[in-house]
Amino acid sequence: MKLYQFSWGIYPRRVHVYLKEKKITGMEMIEIDVIGQENRKPGYLEKNPTGGIPTLETEDGFTICQSSSIMQYLEDLYPAPDMRGSTPEARARTHDQLMLVNEAYNFAGICTFHASPLFSKMRLQNDEVARGMHSEYVRVLGSLETMAGERPYMGGETPSIADVAFFASEQFMRDLYQLELPATCARLEAIYHRFLLRPSAAPAAYPKFIVPLAPLRAF
Ligand SMILES: N[C@@H](CCC(=O)N[C@@H](CS)C(=O)NCC(=O)O)C(=O)O
């Protein structure tokens, strides 16, 4: 199988962390030049019409175009250790959490477009939109915080694919944009710090030119 990815991106990173957690090796890594917008050119768009990275391509040339679906597909192929849940109810709960993680960090991503100097020359930035997106991000995280329960991870004693998605997204927002979790999300904060101790959590190296420009300005 081939994974079209780049090393430091928020979404490909979910899959990198997941592969380490599962100890899956032998995947061919194909680096996509996201800065040069290779993912918006016909060759890549034929594989993934969304232009988003990552894409997983199976031996038969079938492509899977969303990081969440890639982890779910790999769970079917590599069931141990189980990172999705052993009953229909547990799997549904994991899916609920995964979708909430996606929702929360979509809002956070739009907030960064409007409040990070990194995007100031590429996009029209609007503080009101940044504030609105930030408050939606906080609202969805509040639901996730409730749903996270009292166990060490959202998935229970060990991380689930929802924990992986949460951790990779949170690490990216925190390290690059200096966007921290709201104080109301103590359980999520604890899950983040617990995950940080895992060998899969070693941070990605961000391109040097991005690091000083990324932190959010006041909005
Ligand atoms: N929902 C998609 C999002 C993929 C996505 O937006 N990836 C980012 C990189 S981390 C990307 O491709 N950005 C560049 C672009 O959209 O042109 C997923 O979960 O895989």
Q: From CA 68, how far away is CA 164, in angstroms rounded?
A: 10
Listed in sequence order, the residues at least 6 apart from 72 whose beta carbon sits closer than 8 Å to its beta carbon are 84, 161
**Ligand 1 atom closest to Cα of residue 11:** 10
**Ligand 1 atom closest to Cα of residue 13:** 10
Residue range(s) occupied by CATH 1.20.1050.10 in the chain: 88-201
**Ligand 1 atom closest to Cα of residue 39:** 17
* Residue 204 confidence (pLDDT) above 90: no
Q: Phi, psi at residue 24, to the nearest 5°?
A: -90, 125
* pLDDT one-digit tens code per residue, 81-139: 999 999 999 999 999 999 999 999 999 999 999 999 999 999 999 999 999 999 999 99
Residue range(s) occupied by CATH 3.40.30.10 in the chain: 2-77
Q: From CA 186, how far away is CA 201, in angstroms rounded?
A: 20
Cβ atoms of residues 191 and 150 within 8 Å: no
15 Cα–ligand 1 center, Å: 12
124 Cα–ligand 1 center, Å: 20
Tokens coding 170: 């949170």
108 Cα–ligand 1 center, Å: 13
CB atoms inside a 10 Å sphere around CB 216:
20
* Residue in 53, 66, 71 to alter for ligand 1 test, most ligand atoms within 8 A of Cβ: 53
152 Cα–ligand 1 center, Å: 29
Please tell us whether the domain made up of 88-201 is placed in CATH 2.30.31.20.
no
Q: Topology of domain 2-77, per CATH?
A: Glutaredoxin (3.40.30)
Tokens coding 216: 């959010």
The protein residue whose alpha carbon is closest to atom 12 in ligand 1 is 52
The protein residue whose alpha carbon is closest to atom 3 in ligand 1 is 52
Listed in sequence order, the residues at least 6 apart from 128 whose beta carbon sits closer than 8 Å to its beta carbon are none
Listed in sequence order, the residues at least 6 apart from 13 whose beta carbon sits closer than 8 Å to its beta carbon are 168, 171, 172, 204
Ligand 1 pocket by C-beta < 6 Å: which residues? 9-12, 34, 39-40, 51-54, 66-68
- Stated pTM of the model: 0.98
- pLDDT value for 198: 98
Average pLDDT of the residues in 74-83: 98
* pLDDT one-digit tens code per residue, 131-179: 999 999 999 999 999 999 899 999 899 999 999 999 999 999 999 999 9
- pLDDT value for 24: 98
